[in-house]
Amino acid sequence: MPIDTPVGPRVDTIRPAGAASALHVRWDRTHTIVNLRGDPADADFLAAVSATLGLPLPTQSGGCPANGSRRIVWAGPDDWFVIGESGTQDALGAALRAAAAGCHHAVTDVSSGYCVLRLAGAPAREVLAQGCPLDLHPRQFAVGRGAGTHFFKASVWLWRTDDDAFELLVRTSFAGYVQELLRRCTLECGMIEG
């Protein structure tokens, strides 16, 4: 058999089983994403930043609070991603810098380096489980919970937004890789993009 002969079916020839059983995928490369660093033991820092964001700054692994316009993703003991609406990075960065003035902190716009991937539908958990080592059963990974992990070899931050919906923060440089793996992982259930 020649080396370039495909062993299995081509990904682009697989037909989705139907909208109800397919994985719904939506990429958003327009979100504002700001990396915030600071001392969680500093009560002034926590209070000022939480008041500015309108959300409590999580201080433990798994914290991922959100409201209608923002989400905070705990990325480490002194490290958070603040995800907001498109085009607000300058205002958000300025507000965080002003709030944390006088406290040890760093605020960096990383919007161009990351994108948000939404996976929804009945097969979402099973598709993620093919390349993610976390136990994503709702008893262990409830709505509102988040974690840093990987999807195959791509480092991601993952959080659950609904019973059958997850969002991932993916480095822009890994987006094509993640997209191709999603195509391969949804051969049975199908994938609908958009």
Please give the pLDDT value at position 73: 97
Domain residue limits, the chain: 13-28+113-193, 32-111
Residues 68-115 have pLDDT tens digits of 899 999 999 999 999 999 999 999 999 999 999 999 999 999 999 999
pLDDT tens per residue across span 123-144: 999 999 999 999 999 999 999 9
pLDDT tens-digit map of 18-77:
677 899 999 999 999 999 999 999 999 999 999 999 999 999 999 899 998 999 999 999
- The one-letter amino acid code at 66 reads A
- The H or E element that residue 125 is part of is helix 124-129
Structure confidence at residue 19 (pLDDT): 72
Instruction: Identify the bridge partners of residue 149 per DSSP, sorted by sequence position.
Output: 156
Which class would CATH give 32-111?
A: alpha beta
Q: What is the DSSP letter of 18?
A: -
CA 17, 18, 22, 24 torsion-angle sign: positive
In 3D space, the residue among 139, 167, 137 whose CA is nearest the CA of residue 24 turns out to be 167
Quick check: pTM over 0.75?
Answer: yes
Whether the domain at 13-28+113-193 and the domain at 32-111 fall into the same CATH topology: no
For domain 13-28+113-193, which CATH number applies: 3.40.50.11260, 3.40.50.300, 3.30.1360.120, 3.50.40.10? 3.30.1360.120
Residue 158 has pLDDT above 70, yes or no: yes
